[in-house]
Structure formats: C-alpha cells, structure tokens
Amino acid sequence: MSRAVQGAISRLPVQKLLIEVLSIVLAVLLALGMNQWRETLANRALAQTALANIELELRSNQDLLVLLNENNRSVTASIHNEDVETESSAAFVPGLQLQEIAWNALLSTGVSSYVDYDTVLMLSKLYSVQEVYKELGTQIVQAELNSAAYAAAAGTTIDEQQKLEQFAGFLELLVAIEIELLQTYEITLVELDDS
C-alpha cells in the first residue's frame, strides 16, 4: 500500500474519535445549559412568590399602621389639649408588631438576585424606614418602662398626662415617621402591582 492510502486509513480512526469526543462534549454542555436554564426559571418563580409574600406582608403592615396612626395622632393631639376627642384610656402604641419576615426570607435565600435591582432597592429603603420606626418605638417603650420602674421604686405614682407631655417630642416624631412609612407603603405597593 502506498503511504497516502496508509495515512488516510490511520486518520479515519482519529477523526472518528475526535468526532465522538466533540459530540460528547457538546452533549454535556447542552445538558449543563438546560439545567442552568431550568434553575433560572425555578429561581425566577421563587422570586415572584417571594414578591407576592412581601406584598401581602406590606399590606398587613399598612393596615395595622393605619389603625395605630389614627390612635397615636389622637393621643398626641390630646397632649396639647387640642379639640380632639380621645378616650381617657387611650394610650400611645408604637407599631412594634410590623413584620419583615418575607423580606428577610427573600434576602436570606439568595432569591433577591433574581429580582429587579430597582425593586430590591425600593424594598430595602422601605424596610429601613420601618426598622427606624420600630427602633424608636422600642426606645420609647423602654423609657416608659424605666420611668414606671423608677416610680415604683420611689413609691410614687405617674400622672399619665404628665408622662405624655414628657414624651411628647418623641411621640410626635414617631407619628411623623408613621405618616412617612404609610406613604412609602402606598408608593411601594403601587410599584409592586405595576411590575
């Protein structure tokens, strides 16, 4: 046999082997791509579920805060003896019960990387304002408890109107944050509905 024929015969198995290797590599890459595509779809579906849960959480927080704000505005107005009818037992109630469970779940599961950046930023701002509100409310409650403990230790009673006047500035600040938070809830919920 001539050298040309021998070379052609020896190249056939190499070419065949090369084609098989390339087809295996292509099949593996295709399978990995399909797997990545399925994962991305599943994570986007999780992101939509998380956003729906956040929307429910925000609506619940908004409903609660509307009630609390109504009460707290009435209480702060009564401090200044404005012509507001308040029950004598009305007390200032900070919204320490506002939830952030759905937001924390979105962040901790890594699903937030499948949510639009502007949406995550908007939610982050809202929950930051909510956190400031809850921290201030906690500080006011702690100060009230300290005042009550001091009065009990001293054997005196606390005049509720005097206590309200003492905390008036903080209470008015908390009411102002409530109003800002309610507006932020409204804007955020409209944006979430539009997306």
The single residue listed with the structure tokens 């901790």 is 108
Global pTM? 0.76
CA distance 7 to 143: 93
CA distance 53 to 105: 10
DSSP string for residues in 17-28: HHHHHHHHHHHH
* All structural domains of the chain with their residue ranges: 3-194
pLDDT digit string, tens, across residues 128-165: 999 999 999 999 889 888 888 888 898 888 777 777 77
Q: In three state form, how does the secondary structure of 43-71 look? A: HHHHHHHHHHHHHHHHHHHHHHHHHHHHH
pLDDT digit string, tens, across residues 55-75: 999 999 999 999 999 999 998
Q: How would you label 158-170 residue by residue, b for 16+ Cβ within 10 Å and e otherwise?
A: eeeeebbebbeeb
Contact present, 183 and 60 (Cβ < 8 Å): no
